[in-house]
Structure 1
Amino acid sequence: MKVPRYIVAISCTAVAAMSWTLGTMQYDFLAKPTPRQLAQAAEEWKGEHLSKQLPAVVYNPAALAPITLQNDKSKKKQNQILLGDLSTPPPLNFYANQKNFGPVAMRQLAKRLEKLGYQQQALLAYERILDSCDSDKKQRAKAIDAIEAISGEVKYINPQGSKPIGLTIHVGTPMENSKDLKREIEHLGQEISLRSGQTLSFKSDIIVSPAPPPAVLTHPETGEPLPPPPIAMALWLSRDDRFDAETPPVAMMMPRDQPELLKQIIKDAVYDSSQRQLSTNANFIVPAKREQLPAGQAPFDQMTRALWLELGTSLQGREIPKVMVVEEDDEEDDE
């Protein structure tokens, strides 16, 4: 059944009129709202929306702390350090070309080589901490302890094997009993030869200069005799197969009444002369002067096999020609 059109028109008009009368008749959409009306609207909005309870804010200092990024570059460097060719005898400067990885990475390399059973290569890695890497006192001390420990397990030699360089320890002195001095120098030469991995061999040369008999000194006030003055000595090293290939001479004083100090005085003088010679060469990090070493560290512990070999090769004087003796057989003249 169809609804008549006049009924539809009346119904639509009634609905629109009722909505306007009950809803928006009292509102003026053309005039600007007064401040009072704005304040009232704001209060109504707050009552509707802010009546709900907001969740409590929990303060978490850790969330506000700055984020520290790890230095992946250093880890990458440590992981990139190469083991090298482990199937052939290594040279004494093995791993020196990787010194820029630093002492920490070099120590990790040495420990890894120890676990793999390559003791000679591990020993060389520890030595690079002393003569190649920019190491602090603590890192050097740990490397020295590791070298001492591992040296008891492997032969402290030149893995590649080569003829040792011959050096002579010269000592000039007016010392009366030069036999004791010669004996101590020979013992010291044997010790250094072992420390160098047998890359160096040593002879002794004692130059005894005539000296006047020591004057009897007396105390200026009491007149009592004073101990005799110490004996002045000079020490230097030279290469046997070169002219003018010598280390800087070192002066030393030997107390006459303390002969037991002779060995240590000579040992210190050899180190001082060697350190001065190595300071002119930049292939390795020069060991510190003896007076600058930390307490408790022996001077010779600063010297690696590569440094001892560097000492010998740095003495570059004129080569001494080899003399050939030709024996001629007497020939009978044929008549």
Structure 2
Amino acid sequence: MPLLTWFWGVRKYDFMTPRTIPVRELRPDFASPVNREIVEAVTPYSLHPQEGKTPEIPEIPLGDLNASPQLDEYREQASLGAPSLLQLADRLQYEGRIQRAVLAYERVIDSTPSGGSAQEEATEALANLKESLPPWNGDLSASEPLQINLATARPPESLQHGITTLSSLVSVASGNLASARFEITQLPPPPASLPSLPVAMWLTVPGEEAAKPSLSVITIIPAEDEDLASELTHGLYRLIGRRLETIAQLTLPPPLLKGDEPENAIVNKLTRLAWQQILETPFQSLEAGPPTEKPSEDSPLPDEASEGEGAAEAEIETTPETLVENP
């Protein structure tokens, strides 16, 4: 039977000689269109990947350039993100509106999430632009007092350099919205010798009582006497950050890292809007049940980390002789 099949069916075909395929039967590939679609569907990376579109940055209007800007200018638009604010600042600089450009950079710092290259770019731009601008408040008599309270057993003259530094920084950083005043409380010497005498430091804005223990206080212990001015500057930056954390309306300033200069941080990482809100928001009014009675003579000095019995048991003096204003 197989022999008959061969004889009648395929004996006339030549299987040994290669067959010439006509050109019309040639195909560039052997995968059908249907198979190619299946391959593209199951392949992790497309055979012909499409180029991704760069997301567009929302544009923030320049605003009414004929009107005087406010300290909170562009804050409502800050939700569009730091790239939009940086783009806005560039356009304002191109138009010669430096004051508004500075406000746009400040919104990057105080109204968008902290960290990242946008914050660094805004801080660097502010350092270059602020020097060319007059203070926001041209009337020094209209500035609000920011009282910096210092309590220590150190001699008053040892604080003078730090007081002068802080006074200048407060005026420059706030655009003369705030003027520094200093109340120094002289404490008795500690009963035992200490490597370095500590300094308790806290702030008071209008509407607060400096003697209330509800105020946030930090203790500064410089390693060397010549480091006191820098430590006081760092302390001011920390206290301002605590104020903003309590207000909870603006982005908190980043903590200082090793090698950061506290003077530069106070001037360029604390916006003028932040200073304004601090001056207008008494710290004690935000706390539940702050003390209302006047502390007794035996009340201890408020401190979060007392150093020595002398600092813990001293009374707070508020006599006119202890007040130093704008040295």
TM band (smaller chain): 0.5 to 0.7
**Offset of 1:171 from its aligned partner?**
0.5
Deviation at 1:161, TM superposition (A): 10
Aligned counterpart for 1:99 among listed residues 78, 82, 94: 78
**In structure 2, which of residues 160, 166, 170 is the aligned counterpart of residue 188 of structure 1?**
166
Q: Is the CA contact (8 Å cut-off) linking 2:243 and 2:283 kept in structure 1?
A: no
Structure showing greater relative contact order (alpha-carbon pairs closer than 8 Å, 6 or more residues apart):
2
In structure 1, C-alpha distance between the alignment counterparts of 2:106 and 2:203, rounded to whole Å:
24
2:220–2:235 contact (8 Å) kept in structure 1: yes
1:154 paired residue number: 133
How far apart, in 1, do the equivalents of 2:110 and 2:27 lie? 64
- Amino acid in structure 2 at the alignment position of 1:172: A
Equivalent residue in structure 2 for 1:90, among 66, 69, 80: 69
Q: What is residue 109 of structure 2 aligned with on the other side?
A: 130
| Equivalent in the alignment of 1:118 | 97
Q: CA RMSD in A?
A: 3.5
* Corresponding letter in the other structure for 1:95: Y
Which of the residues 78, 92, 95 maps onto 2:58?
78
SS at match of 1:52: helix
Q: Report the equivalent of 2:273.
A: 306
Gap change, CA 1:161 and 1:124, over 3 Å in 2? farther
Structure 1 unaligned regions, length at least 5: 1-35, 41-46, 216-227, 319-335
- Per-residue CA deviations over 1:184-242 (Å, capped at 9, x if unaligned) read 22431222111101111111111011114654xxxxxxxxxxxx511111100102444
Q: Does 1:67 align with 2:50?
A: yes
User: Is 1:288 paired with 2:254?
Assistant: yes
Q: How far off its partner does 1:56 sit? A: 4.3
Decide whether aligned partners of structure 1 residues 95 and 156 sit closer, same or farther in structure 2, where only a CA change above 3 A counts.
same
One-letter identity of the residue aligned with 1:123: V
C-alpha separation between the residues in 2 aligned to 1:89 and 1:159?
Answer: 14
Distance 1:294 1:208, change over 3 A: closer
Structure-1 separation of matches of 2:82 and 2:138? 23
Contact 1:166 1:241 in 2 (8 A): no
* 1:266 aligned partner: 232
Amino acid of the structure 1 residue aligned with 2:74: Y
Q: Which residue of 2 aligns with 1:331?
A: none
Residues 126 and 313 from structure 1, CA distance in 2 versus in 1: closer, same or farther, beyond 3 angstroms?
same
Aligned residue in 2 for 1:139: 118
Q: Are 1:127 and 1:143, in contact at CA under 8 Å, matched by a contact in 2?
A: yes
- Give 1:30-41 correspondences, 5 Å limit: none
Sequence identity of aligned pairs in percent? 25
Match of 1:54 among 26, 30, 37: 26
Q: 2:144 is matched with which residue?
A: 165
Indicate conservation of the 8 Å contact 1:94/1:125, yes or no.
yes
C-alpha offsets along residues 256-308 of structure 1, whole Å, 9 cap, x if unaligned? Answer: xx322111011111111111111112221011233xx4754643232111112
- Aligned residues between the structures: 256
Q: Deviations over 1:108-139 (max 9, x none)?
A: 11011000010000011111111111253322
Q: What amino acid maps onto 1:70 in structure 2?
A: K
* SS of the residue 1:167 aligns to: strand
Q: Which runs of 5+ in 2 are unaligned?
A: 1-7, 13-18, 30-44, 286-327
Residue 224 of structure 1: aligned partner = none
**Structure 1 residue 159 displacement after superposition:** 8.6
Look up the equivalent residue of 1:205 and give its one-letter code. E
Q: Which residue of 1 aligns with 2:183?
A: 205
Larger Rg: 1
Q: Name the amino acid aligned to 1:278.
A: L
Q: Are residues 241 and 63 of structure 1, via their aligned partners in 2, closer, same or farther at CA, if it must alter by over 3 Å?
A: closer
The 2-side partners of 1:261 and 1:294 are apart by: 15
CA contact (8 A) 1:247 1:315 kept: no
Distance change in 2, residues 1:231/1:121 (3 Å): same
In structure 2, how many angstroms separate the alpha carbons of the residues matched to 1:260 and 1:306?
A: 33
Does the C-alpha gap of structure 1 residues 295 and 178 become closer, same or farther in structure 2, counting only changes over 3 Å? closer
- Measured after TM superposition, the shift of residue 67 of structure 1 is 1.2
Give 1:174 shift: 0.7
